[in-house]
Amino acid sequence: MSITGAVGRVRPAQPGDPARIGPYRIIGRLGSGGMGTVHAGLTADGLRVAVKVIHPAQAQDPEFRARFRREVQLSARVQGPCLVPLLAADPEAGAPWLATAYAPGPTLDRHIARYGPLTGGTLYAFATGTAQALAAIHAAGVVHRDVKPQNVILSPAGPRVLDFGIAHAADGTSVTRTGVLTGTPGWISPEHYRSGVAGPAGDMFAWGALIAYAATGRLPFGTGAPDVVAYRVMSGEADLAGTPAELRDIVADALAKEPGARTTAPVTADRCARLLATQATQIGPAPAAPPDPRVTPAPAGPHPPTAASAPPATPDPRVRPAPPAPSNPYGPPVRPPADPLVALWQIPAVDDPRWTTTARSSSRGRTAAVVLGAAAVVGALVGAAVAFPGAWRDPADAAGSNASASAATHREAAATSPAPTGSARTAGPAFSGTGRGAIPADPLAGAPNPAFTRSGDDTEPSSDDWRDSAVAATADETEVAGAVRAAVRTMLATKDLAFMEPQVTFDRRAQTVVLTGGPVSQLPEAQRTLFRRSAGMAACATLAHRLADAPDSWAYGRYAVFWKDSDTATDATALGFGEATDGCYHTVAGQWQGEDEGIAAARMPSADKTEFQVADGIDKAVTRAWRARVARDDGIAPEAADEDISLGFDPVQKAAYLWIVDTRDAVAGRAQRDNFQDLVTRTACPRLLARYKADKSWPYTRWSVVVYSGGLGGTPEIVRSGDCLG
């Protein structure tokens, strides 16, 4: 999995970070994760580079080092357009590292989440560039095996395909663990699902899905549990509605179910390049050339000579004749650009002053080299997603213009935002209470004169509350704002949505903390719901701890979640609100209870590798146990053994949801459901508790058993919920 940070964002170096790695001077960090850190580096000439260093613990693993050595070999072999070049590497060092050029820009998924799908010439340039990159990869005898939106950077110079962490040679020489399915659900070819085969044709299938996603902003095979997505990939048709007609045939050919029916990368790149050239020629005729100052025009007369009667002109030896214009039978001559991809690519350049300032101070007046590479070229060996703090920046700030007073009150200084730690489950400050610690259910119990006086006020928040809120003004408010943001980021990162980190402001009059999300165009409703729930939980837990710790001085006990449609909006939509004195978890009669929104969150694919591994282990264990129970219990319909069982996690309520898809009404009766629920708790709880005891960052001990009657399209019914801790 790749990690990309904010566009052009260099974070401060951490204690213990090296000052130099190989020939590169390190000026900060671009990202970090479970398997390594990516540092921002500079060459002696000021060239910006991304240096990936593997953690020492991973470097001690011979198998891991062999995979890293293979990654270096493959990356060095591949050269071509729209790729990020490998500059240097030392796989034999105590802490192995590799350095690539640095290219500013968001990944495709980040760009679409903020601005929507690619359109016009940019879309055609994206299709052409990525196909050319795959053609170069395949020409080198390499298979990428992880083509997906997170592995394509939209740099100002064009798309850049990243990440050879799980690539392998087309001749089959690779270093991978036996039995591990490589790739990302939804971006895996049908033949890879069926047999584990991953060849160049598999890359082209993923390319077709990539272009459909870039054109529409929708995952072409939808979302849901990995096994559901796999079924659609193998048996269903991709959703290409909204893909431009000129591209649709090319994409459809790449998405053919049988690998032999797909077009190759070179053929696809050629088809896309021809389409791109057609778009370039539609820009319009070239402007008239200015008169040559070295040539004196002929005097005008009353009867200028016609072409038939005028004598041939003597060529001026001082002027080099212009090349003939290209033939165009459909209109006046046009002058297509030399490189249509560059000419039609409309991704603005971004920069971070830290790069420029550091380079200038070190070079003492030397001219900085041209920037070559990505927002953070972080390969598959660096494990988890990080936040995207630049996503909430007001364009007016970047342009240097003045924003409205309303927008200004909602803009937080970047310095108050704590740097992400890289782990999708790393908690914020200790008092945030969104991790494993208990959250006070009645934080004001016994407080004689609490500063929070709106307890029990059910008044819904209004736009006035949002407009009246302002950025943190005290040290305590600043600390709470940072804790809330960190907690939201932690929850959303498990679903690879940390870029939706909210703004946090304070309405002192209303004693309300305001969390604002957006703008993100075409955001699926399920993701916005998850944002609302994550923001509410983060605020509730943090405020509950504050109220309990300082009831006579901390006045904020309410929270409200809003969504704005533009950076300069003077109004926002209220998504929800609550009070930290009411308890933060969903309970019925004092017992934790699962909820439909938790089911929806659990069905969203997880971006956390530990969650994926735990879910896979419990899923398989429950399935085996259930089939054994069905085989020996006369009260359970035999066909129940064939029903699909899946598990996912809701990061908000810290709960595991396990559901069975009952297509045959095999578990319709209460006895059968009780049987299934009993088996789930007996099988799942020991595994959840074992992880809980071994991993201090593991928060999931609650569980909920769900039955989908008639298939996944039916209404889910929560059979029972509980907590493995008792």
For 657-686, give the DSSP string: EEEEEETT-TT-SHHHHHHHHHHHHHHHHH
Please provide residue 294's backbone torsions phi and psi, each rounded to the nearest 5 degrees: -85, -5
Please provide residue 456's backbone torsions phi and psi, each rounded to the nearest 5 degrees: 85, 0
Question: Residue 720's CB: how many other CB atoms inside 10 A?
Answer: 17
Domain presence at residue 122: no
Beta-bridged to residue 333, according to DSSP, are none
- Is the pLDDT at 599 greater than 60? The verdict is yes
- Is the pLDDT at 405 greater than 80? The verdict is no
From 17, 90, 146, 464, active-site residue? 146
- Pairwise CA distance, residues 438 & 699, whole Å: 11
Q: What is the pLDDT of residues 146-200, one digit of tens each?
A: 899 988 999 888 999 986 543 444 433 333 333 344 456 778 888 888 877 778 9
Q: Are 198 and 138 in contact (CB under 8 A)?
A: no
> Domain check: are 603 and 580 in the same one?
no
> Domain check: are 150 and 192 in the same one?
yes
What CATH number did the domain enclosing 666 receive? 3.30.300
| Owning domain of residue 717 | 596-723
> Domain check: are 604 and 570 in the same one?
no
- Is the pLDDT at 55 greater than 70? The verdict is yes
Looking at 423-437, 507-521, 608-622, which range is the least confident one?
Answer: 423-437
Nearest one of 578, 394, 418 to 498, comparing CA atoms: 418
Residue where a domain stops, chosen among 517, 552, 584: 584
pLDDT at site 642: 73
- Is the pLDDT at 135 greater than 60? The verdict is yes
**Residues contacting 593, CB < 8 A, separation 6+:** 586, 587, 704, 718, 721
pTM of the model: 0.47
Please provide residue 670's backbone torsions phi and psi, each rounded to the nearest 5 degrees: -65, -40
Q: Are 193 and 201 in contact (CB under 8 A)?
A: no
> Domain check: are 404 and 524 in the same one?
yes
Domain presence at residue 171: no
> Domain check: are 423 and 361 in the same one?
no
Domain presence at residue 340: no
Overall number of domains in the chain: 4
pLDDT at site 390: 24
pLDDT at site 329: 30
Residue with tokens 């994550």: 534
pLDDT-derived band of residue 643, with 50, 70 and 90 as boundaries? confident
> Domain check: are 417 and 564 in the same one?
yes
| Mean pLDDT of the region 7-27 | 83
Q: Report residue 267 as tokens.
A: 């053929």
pLDDT at site 712: 66
Domain presence at residue 327: no
| Mean pLDDT of the region 701-715 | 83
Domain presence at residue 486: yes
- Pairwise CA distance, residues 184 & 206, whole Å: 10
Q: What is the pLDDT of residues 82-112, one digit of tens each?
A: 988 888 889 888 889 989 888 888 889 889 9
Looking at 275-289, 318-332, 539-553, 598-612, which range is the least confident one?
Answer: 318-332
Any catalytic annotation for residue 146? Answer: yes
**Residue-by-residue DSSP string for 46-100:** --EEEEEEE-HHHHT-HHHHHHHHHHHHHHHH---TTB--EEEEETTSSS-EEEE
> Domain check: are 573 and 633 in the same one?
no
- Is the pLDDT at 523 greater than 50? The verdict is yes
Residue where a domain stops, chosen among 537, 559, 584: 584
What CATH number did the domain enclosing 221 receive? 1.10.510.10
Domain presence at residue 289: no
> Domain check: are 564 and 543 in the same one?
yes
Distances from the Cα of 321 to the Cα of 295, 302, 311, angstroms: 13, 28, 19
Mean pLDDT score across all residues of the chain: 76
> Domain check: are 565 and 664 in the same one?
no
> Domain check: are 605 and 710 in the same one?
yes
- Is the pLDDT at 509 greater than 60? The verdict is yes
What CATH number did the domain enclosing 24 receive? 3.30.200.20
Beta-bridged to residue 158, according to DSSP, are 155
Position 144: which residue type?
Answer: H
Nearest one of 556, 527, 551, 553 to 539, comparing CA atoms: 556
> Domain check: are 496 and 631 in the same one?
no
pLDDT-derived band of residue 422, with 50, 70 and 90 as boundaries? very low
Please provide residue 464's backbone torsions phi and psi, each rounded to the nearest 5 degrees: -65, -40
> Domain check: are 378 and 432 in the same one?
no
Classify residue 470 by its DSSP letter: B
- Pairwise CA distance, residues 654 & 631, whole Å: 33
168-169 vs 503-507, strand pairing mode:
unpaired
Residue where a domain stops, chosen among 280, 310, 335: 280
pLDDT at site 293: 40
- Pairwise CA distance, residues 249 & 254, whole Å: 9
Domain presence at residue 603: yes
Domain presence at residue 440: yes
| Mean pLDDT of the region 686-712 | 90
